[in-house]
A = this chain, B = another copy of it.
Amino acid sequence: MSAVNILKFGISSPGDTSPLAELKRAGYDPSQILAVIGKTEGNGCVNDFSRTLAAVAWEPLIPKDAITIFSGGTEGVLSPHVTFVVREAGGANTGLVAAVTRTRAFKPHEIGTRTQAAGVADEVGRVLDRPGFGDAKLVLVKCPLLTSAKIDAIKVQGRVPLTTDTYESMALSRYACAVGIEAALTYIKDKDDRHSDSVLDSLDNKDSPIWSDYASCSSGAELEDCHILVLGTSPVPGKIRAISSTMRDAIDATPILTALETIRQEGGEVLQVFAKAEADPSGAIRGRRHTMSTDSDIHGTRHARAAVGGLIAGLTGDTQIYVSGGAEGQGPPGGGSLCVVYRVP
């Protein structure tokens, strides 16, 4: 558990690590890095090697127990960048605390299952249980997916893969993480294992989907475990604050406008926005048909990032924002979790 600051910098390509120099100029040492969270310019889907390139470039430069979370896809106006979560020197209270952790590597047949959800729940629960955490504001996870090779490996074992569609495996993995996050938050509330177990059970019950407004999960081929960042408030408020909210659909400007108004009233400035976006699974938004799920040229996650990115960038005037596609369990169907981190004077 550390008091942290948030800084972000543009990148000229996925492998660009020049922000490290900018971080140093801002007075931070690489050893203070807890997490590097990036938006890179691949398709954000299965064969997005921009994420891998970024991970390969950054991992040697950060502490061994720090994590990377690279989310592909800067559709529309979104601008490639990295966000650093850095420990404040001397442990000075900033108001914002964070912790990072990793699950074990998951075997191909575990991806998208209760095993993955439980693994994430355990790690998130462990973090939230630590003293020094006020309220959880955002749980950001990077999780694995199924490639053709992994699907084949599952079949070779005589098992039936959850899906044979590599793109769909990304959604299943995200959903498992989101359920795990919700289970952990449920557990923290009342410390009753039965309640959090019942959340985990819901993974296999398609009729009653659940979600967490604090979850933001992104899958990729560049890892086999889950990288987890938990952001929260410190028990004693400070100058860095966070507003967690939920977009109820992809055109729901209200929570953003409300957050921006709060920040304006407090004289603050936005440090970063973290938002999830998805194509409404009903095929419509407020009763009007969208075409994100029938467009066989562009996957729905790309459409959703572009649209929600356009909205949030327009409202904040900032294109270096973290908008991630595929919000299964990370907000209501068609909507997505939203977290705005800001600093007051």
Contact = CB atoms under 8 A, between A and B. Distances in A.
A321 to B, nearest CB: 10
Nearest to A302: B298
A271 to B, nearest CB: 16
Contacts of A14: 49, 52
A323 to B, nearest CB: 10
Q: How many copies does the complex hold?
A: 4
Q: Which of A252, A281, A311 has the most CB of B within 10 A?
A: A311
A263 to B, nearest CB: 16
Interface stretch (A88-96, A193-201, A284-292): A284-292
Contacts of A311: 310-311, 313-315
A290 B251 contact: no
A328 to B, nearest CB: 11
Interface residues of A, number: 78
Contact of A310 (B149, B250, B282, B302): B250
Interface stretch (A39-47, A121-129, A179-187): A39-47
B290 A79 contact: yes
Contacts of A42: 47, 49
11 contacts: A10-B289, A13-B52, A15-B52, A15-B56, A41-B291, A52-B53, A77-B251, A148-B283, A148-B291, A152-B283, A314-B315
Given A47-B294, A165-B165, 16 more contacts: A10-B288, A13-B49, A15-B49, A43-B297, A45-B296, A75-B298, A76-B292, A78-B290, A79-B288, A148-B284, A152-B284, A167-B296, A252-B314, A307-B309, A309-B310, A314-B315
